[in-house]
A and B are shown apart, each in its own frame.
Chain A
Amino acid sequence: MSSLKEILTRRPVSATIRLTVPAGAARPAPPVGPALGQYRLNLMAFCKDFNARTQKYKPDTPMAVTITAYKDNTFEFTVKSPSVTWYLKKAAGIELGSGRPGHVVASSVTLKHIYEIAKVKQSDPYCQYMSLESICKSIIGTANTMGIQVVKELD
């Protein structure tokens, strides 16, 4: 979402860093420390910024962060919520998906779970243009590939 002016005056990038940080719990220590420290980025600023922006997620949810470090030691970052598979595994209460999806059912989740996951995913940068219904369909598709059954209600 950059304006034309921003694109024309883009700062030179020095590196792209990816890591996983628990929501609201960034500290200037591993994994954040070594990854950002070597580019001389301001760790405190990142931690404070990241923690403030992830307040709306459940504490300690692992968030995928992508940081763009510029040559002048400034940086920008985007935060993605955990993958759909992570949410599905949590909702279904399992650690691993099914070994043989389509044949063996690992566990089940209800439509309400799907709806709740879709609502969280809607605030992700790449999902914002999708309708809630299409996000739900995509999540149900993922559930099928993991061998997780979607039921109307749990008995």
Chain B
Amino acid sequence: MRGTHFFKHLSFISSWRISSQPRRLIHGVFPSPLSQRRLSSVFRNFSTSSSLPTTHSLTSPYFSVRISCPKDSADMLSEALLCFGASSTSMDEQGSDEGNDKICIDSIFSDRQDVDVCISHAADSVGLKELPSYEVRVGEQYDWIKKTQESFCPVEVTEGLWIVPEWRTPPDAHATNIILNPGFAFGTGEHPTTKLCLLLLHGLIKGGERFLDYGTGSGILAIAALKFGAASSVGIDVDPQAITAATQNAALNKISPNKMQLTLVPPDGRTHEVVEGQSPNSMGVTTESESFDIVIANILLNPLLDLADDIVSHAKPGAVVAVSGIISEQVPYIMERYSPLLESISVTEIDDWACVCGTKRRGLTVN
């Protein structure tokens, strides 16, 4: 399974120069929205195929191995390491004034057992005469999570509209500021598709509309709609982590629960059943089919094609439906699928990303 096609026989190398110095574990003070229980539940259904490492957990430590090897076999060794079980490899660029001919490869493994075997197989498969020296370090998931969060800065989507991470102060206190802590859900405001959708909402909302955010992620669009003046927002998603993140973000922006409803739905598009099956809650926000003035789905091409009928069914006749999360070359497929359902279709693009927007045809039969 581990790439035996690479070569016919293995010769284990006898001299091992290993120094493993695990660094002191940092026991996670995890950032606020992430609790260990929630994180492990997200990865319960992580996809496993025979060629991927099976233990992916956000709570267990990972192992970072620094391998030193000759420059000219570095590329091949990186590829071989991936074949034999490494999760990833990375090589830092070396300055040209480095005297030695050695380069360091940092490789990440999820399982300590795999490390030694993998490196020896990989080294052998690229023809290295001796086992490269390497050092194993334990990394906590917290390390990279924190680094990623540090890279979020306030983003000005358009004049007077800022997306600000929770831990920073808004640069302009008088502008419309959406405070976010995205956690692991999509939607920080930086991505071109989020911008496209936000600009669309900004232009569309006059006040009092009912908005459906199909695939809400961090809840950014639902929150933005309310800030622009919509009457109420409903956000649905198939990812429980997204609903958690969106609920927290709603609280951060001081949105009352009766203005914004967030629901987890099954991935097969039976959103109406779930939503109508709920007893009308005390908040008074119920969703029946054909009840929204604006529906936006910023997800991916395949779900947009599969769920087209469901997405459009939530809109009132003549209401605006917009879809995004597609690259420009995928627009023809969307057009083909949505033309029977929508009219006056227009496409806006930023960089290589597109947003397709139209109004629901009147007289469509609702399944």
A residues whose Cβ falls under 8 Å from a Cβ of B: 12-20, 22, 24-25, 27-45, 47-48, 51-53, 55, 59-62, 64, 69, 73, 82, 85-86, 95-97, 145-146
Q: How far is the CB of A14 from chain B (nearest CB, A)?
A: 6
Q: Chain A CB within 10 Å — which of B4, B56, B88, B147 has the most? A: B88
B300 near A19 (CB under 8 angstroms)? no
Known contacts: A22-B52, A40-B151, A64-B82. The answer to whether A27 contacts B184 by CB under 8 A is yes
- List 26 A-B pairs, Cβ < 8 Å: A16-B90, A20-B52, A20-B82, A27-B184, A30-B141, A31-B56, A31-B110, A33-B141, A34-B62, A35-B108, A37-B145, A38-B143, A38-B147, A40-B148, A40-B150, A43-B148, A44-B187, A44-B191, A47-B186, A52-B327, A52-B330, A53-B327, A62-B49, A73-B151, A95-B50, A96-B4
Residues in B whose Cβ lies below 8 Å from that of A48: 186, 191, 193, 325
Residues in A whose Cβ lies below 8 Å from that of B139: 34
CA distance A73 to B153 in the complex (A): 13
Chain B 173-200 interface residues, beta-carbon cutoff 8 Å to A: 182, 184, 186-188, 190-191, 193
Chain B: residues with Cβ within 8 Å of the partner, total of: 54
Known pairs A24-B300, A51-B300 / 20 extra A-B pairs, C-beta < 8 Å: A14-B93, A15-B93, A16-B78, A17-B91, A20-B88, A22-B52, A25-B47, A28-B148, A30-B58, A30-B62, A31-B108, A33-B148, A34-B88, A41-B151, A48-B325, A53-B327, A59-B302, A61-B49, A82-B51, A86-B51
A34 near B92 (CB under 8 angstroms)? no
CA distance A36 to B292 in the complex (A): 39
CA distance A11 to B4 in the complex (A): 38
Q: Chain B CB within 10 Å — which of A19, A29, A45, A146 has the most? A: A29
Known contacts: A22-B47, A34-B88, A55-B301. The answer to whether A12 contacts B93 by CB under 8 A is yes
A37 near B147 (CB under 8 angstroms)? yes
Q: How far is the CB of A73 from chain B (nearest CB, A)?
A: 7
CA distance A99 to B53 in the complex (A): 23
Q: Which residue of A lies closest to B50 (CB)?
A: A95
CA distance A28 to B193 in the complex (A): 18
Residues in B whose Cβ lies below 8 Å from that of A33: 58, 141, 144-145, 148
Residues in B whose Cβ lies below 8 Å from that of A146: 5
Q: Chain B CB within 10 Å — which of A12, A31, A42 has the most? A: A31
| Residue B87, interface by CB 8 Å | yes
CA distance A27 to B183 in the complex (A): 12
Q: Chain B CB within 10 Å — which of A19, A59, A85 has the most? A: A19
| Residue B89, interface by CB 8 Å | yes
| Residue B64, interface by CB 8 Å | yes
Residues in B whose Cβ lies below 8 Å from that of A47: 186
Q: How far is the CB of A154 from chain B (nearest CB, A)?
A: 22
| Residue B57, interface by CB 8 Å | yes
Known contacts: A18-B79, A145-B5. The answer to whether A29 contacts B89 by CB under 8 A is no
Known contacts: A18-B90, A51-B300, A62-B52. The answer to whether A34 contacts B184 by CB under 8 A is no
Question: Which 5 pairs across A and B sit closest by C-beta, in order of nearness?
Answer: A37-B144, A19-B88, A35-B88, A31-B87, A17-B90
CA distance A85 to B50 in the complex (A): 13
| Residue B366, interface by CB 8 Å | no
